[in-house]
Amino acid sequence: MPDDPGVDPLPLTVGAAYEGSPADIGEARALSRDFLRRVRADYGLPVSERALEVLPLVVSELITNACKYAPGPQLLELSTDGTAIQVSLWDSSPALPLPRAGDADRVGQHGLEIVMALCQGYEVHQQPLGKRTRVHLALTDTPRTRQRDVKEA
């Protein structure tokens, strides 16, 4: 835990700006792994092995989709309140992603399916410029109710 007992360290937040290039995908994955290691080591919060594996995958899928469908800048923010992780990604495209029905024969375009299957919450909101995608993951393996909304702001 941080040294100052009078300061509540939560929520913890880290963010990064990306240019929208494929190199950003690996950087965003690394940021997510480092964030969870910090949450566990520096703050003593429980982080499941599942969260350690799932968060980098989810972040990678979100950044990959943004690079592919919303060329231009992206803003990634990771935060935790001590029980869950919230991932927030802003990109420059106002187009909302449309979930597709599962199809084992389809090659590619499974990123959103993967994200929605792994996360406890998923929502997308159009903004005056672009859109913001938010997903929620549990820090531990406790099941949570899934909420998925696609909304226009």
Q: According to the model, what pLDDT value does residue 153 have?
A: 46
54: Cβ contacts below 8 Å, ≥ 6 apart? 118, 137
Question: CA torsion 132→99→83→54, rounded to 10°?
Answer: -110
Q: Each residue of 86-113: pLDDT tens digit?
A: 999 999 999 988 766 666 665 555 667 7
**Structural domains of the chain in order of their starting residue, each with its CATH number:** 12-151 (3.30.565.10)
Does the pLDDT at position 61 exceed 60? yes
Residue 146's pLDDT band, with cuts at 50, 70 and 90, is: very low
Q: Which residues of 86-108 are buried (b: 16+ CB within 10 A; e: fewer)?
A: bbbbbbebeeebeeeeeeeeeee
Q: How far apart are CA 111 and CA 108, in angstroms?
A: 8
Residue 5 reports pLDDT greater than 80: no
What is the percentage of the chain residues whose pLDDT exceeds 90?
Answer: 65
Q: Would the pLDDT of 28 be above 50?
A: yes
Residue whose structure tokens are 């980098």: 56
**Across the beta sheet with 84-91, what order do the strands follow?**
12-18, 74-80, 84-91, 131-138, 121-126, 147-151
Can you tell me the distance from the alpha carbon of 26 to that of 133, in angstroms, rounded to the nearest whole number?
Answer: 19
The overall average pLDDT reported for the chain is 84
